[in-house]
C-alpha cells in the first residue's frame, strides 16, 4: 500500500510540475542552456566525428524518441539534457558541431550543447573511443560561441544574457570507468585518491575558464553509482555492484563538493546547484518500485549476461518494457530514468541538490 501510494504521489507531482511548467512555457525561465559533458547529455555531437567509436546514431537507440529514429542520444528516447530544457521552457540546445556546419552562420541564442560521448575531465580519457570532444575542447568551442554573442549583441548585453543562462556540466563518469575498467593500467600509475583529487582540481580549472566566458550559474552533476551500471555488474560473477568503483565515485563527489565551495569563495558572482546523481540513482536501484522500475541490474538493449556483454547495436535485442528498466544499455539510463532524475533534482530538497536546487538557482 505504501509503495503504491508513493508511486501515485510521484506521478501526481509530475503532473503538477508539468502543468506549472506549461503555464510558464510562454516565457522561458532562462535565456539559454549551455551543456558540457559526456554521453549522458550528448544530443548528437558525435554524429559529426568520423572516427569516433562512441556513437548512437543507429538502432535501437531512439526507438521511443519522436520519429522513432536514432539521433545520437545514448537512450531509447530523450536524455537528461532534453528534460532539463523542457523544465525551463526551451528547446533542447542543439549540438555545437551541427550549428557550426549550419550555412546560415551563427549559433542559437537559446544555447548550444558541446557534450560528447566518451568525453572526460582529462584529455586522455576519450582515447579508448578514438575520437571525442574532451572538456578542454568543449570550453574552447564555447569561447567561440561567446565571441559570436559579443559580436551580435555587444559586450554588455552578451554578458547579461550569459549571466542569466544555465551552464550544465555532466562529466567524470568516463574518467572513473576508465580507471576501473577490467585490465586498466591506471591503478598501477596513480593511487585512486590522487586520481579523484586530480579530477576535481582539473574540473575546477575548467569551470574557472568557463567563468571567463560568461558562465555564472552552474548546474553541476556529480557522478552516479557507476559500479552498479550493467557493464560493471557484468565484471562480477554475482552480478552485484562493483563496490570499489562506487566507493571512489563517492569519494570523488566529496571532493567535488568541497571544490565547488572553494570556487564559490573565489568567484563571488557565481552560483551553483550541485546535483547528487549518486544518491538519486542509488535510490532507483535500492527502491525501484517506488519509481515504477522492476529491472535495475540488466540493460534493456544489448546481448549476453545482463545484456552487458555486447553494446546496444542493431543486432542486439531490446526489451519491450523500457519504462520498467533503469538502464537502457551498458552505461546509460532509460528515458524513464532520465525523466525521474530531472523531476527529482529540479525542485529537490538538499538530499538531492545543494546548496540550492535548480529552480532556486534560476531565481538566484
Please list the active-site residues: 39, 329, 332
Residue 4 neighbours by CB under 8 Å, 6+ apart: none
Q: What is the distance of C-alpha 157 from the center of its chain? A: 29
Distances (CA, A) of 239 to 226, 242, 248: 14, 9, 19
Count of residues making up the chain: 364
In which residue are the cell numbers 548528437 written? 44
CA neighbours closer than 13 Å in the CB half-sphere of residue 24: 16
* Rounded Cα gap, residues 142 and 115, in angstroms: 11
Closest CA relative to residue 90, chosen from 141, 6, 21, 156 = 21
Extract the C-alpha cell encoding 217: 550559474
> What is the secondary structure of 231-253 as a DSSP string?
HHHTTSTT----HHHHHHHHHHH
User: Are β-strands 166-170 and 217-221 bridged in parallel, bridged antiparallel, or unpaired?
Assistant: parallel
In which residue are the cell numbers 559580436 written? 151
Range list of β-strands (E), the chain: 33-37, 166-170, 217-221, 271-275, 301-302, 317-318, 353-354
Extract the C-alpha cell encoding 315: 543486432
Q: What is the distance of C-alpha 308 from the center of its chain? A: 21
Extract the C-alpha cell encoding 244: 570499489
Distances (CA, A) of 166 to 84, 159, 253: 10, 13, 21
Amino acid at each position: 500500500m505504501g509503495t503504491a501510494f508513493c508511486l501515485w504521489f510521484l506521478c501526481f507531482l509530475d503532473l503538477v510540475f508539468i502543468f506549472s511548467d506549461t503555464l510558464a512555457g510562454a516565457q522561458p525561465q532562462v535565456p539559454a542552456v549551455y551543456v558540457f559533458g559526456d554521453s549522458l547529455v550528448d544530443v548528437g555531437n558525435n554524429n559529426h566525428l568520423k572516427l569516433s567509436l562512441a556513437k548512437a546514431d543507429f538502432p535501437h537507440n531512439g526507438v521511443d524518441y519522436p520519429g522513432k529514429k536514432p539521433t545520437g542520444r545514448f537512450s531509447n528516447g530523450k536524455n537528461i539534457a532534453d528534460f532539463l530544457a523542457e523544465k525551463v521552457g526551451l528547446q533542447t540546445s542543439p549540438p555545437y558541431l551541427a550549428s557550426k556546419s549550419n550555412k546560415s552562420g551563427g549559433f542559437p541564442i537559446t544555447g548550444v550543447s558541446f557534450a560528447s560521448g566518451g568525453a572526460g575531465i582529462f584529455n586522455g580519457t576519450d582515447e579508448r573511443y578514438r575520437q571525442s570532444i574532451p572538456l578542454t575542447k568543449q570550453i574552447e568551442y564555447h569561447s567561440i560561441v561567446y565571441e559570436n554573442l559579443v559580436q551580435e549583441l555587444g559586450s554588455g548585453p552578451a554578458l547579461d544574457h550569459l549571466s542569466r543562462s544555465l551552464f550544465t556540466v555532466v562529466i567524470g563518469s568516463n574518467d572513473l570507468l576508465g580507471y576501473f575498467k577490467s585490465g586498466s593500467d591506471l591503478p598501477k600509475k596513480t593511487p585512486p585518491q590522487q586520481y579523484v583529487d586530480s579530477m576535481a582540481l582539473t574540473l575546477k580549472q575548467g569551470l574557472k575558464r568557463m567563468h571567463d566566458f560568461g558562465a555564472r550559474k552552474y548546474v553541476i552533476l556529480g557522478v552516479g553509482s557507476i559500479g552498479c551500471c550493467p557493464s560493471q555488474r557484468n565484471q562480477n560473477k554475482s552480478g552485484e555492484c562493483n563496490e570499489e568503483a562506487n566507493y571512489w565515485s563517492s569519494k570523488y563527489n566529496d571532493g567535488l563538493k568541497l571544490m565547488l565551495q572553494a570556487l564559490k569563495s573565489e568567484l563571488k558572482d557565481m552560483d551553483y546547484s550541485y546535483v547528487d546523481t549518486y544518491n538519486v540513482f542509488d535510490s532507483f536501484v535500492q527502491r525501484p518500485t517506488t519509481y515504477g522500475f522492476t529491472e535495475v541490474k540488466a540493460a534493456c538493449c544489448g546481448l549476453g549476461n545482463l545484456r552487458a556483454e555486447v553494446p546496444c547495436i542493431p543486432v542486439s535485442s531490446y526489451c519491450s518494457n523500457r519504462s520498467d528498466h533503469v538502464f537502457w544499455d551498458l552505461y546509460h539510463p532509460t528515458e524513464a530514468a532520465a525523466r525521474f532524475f530531472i523531476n527529482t533534482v529540479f525542485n529537490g530538497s538538499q538530499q538531492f541538490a545543494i546548496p540550492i536546487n535548480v529552480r532556486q538557482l534560476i531565481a538566484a
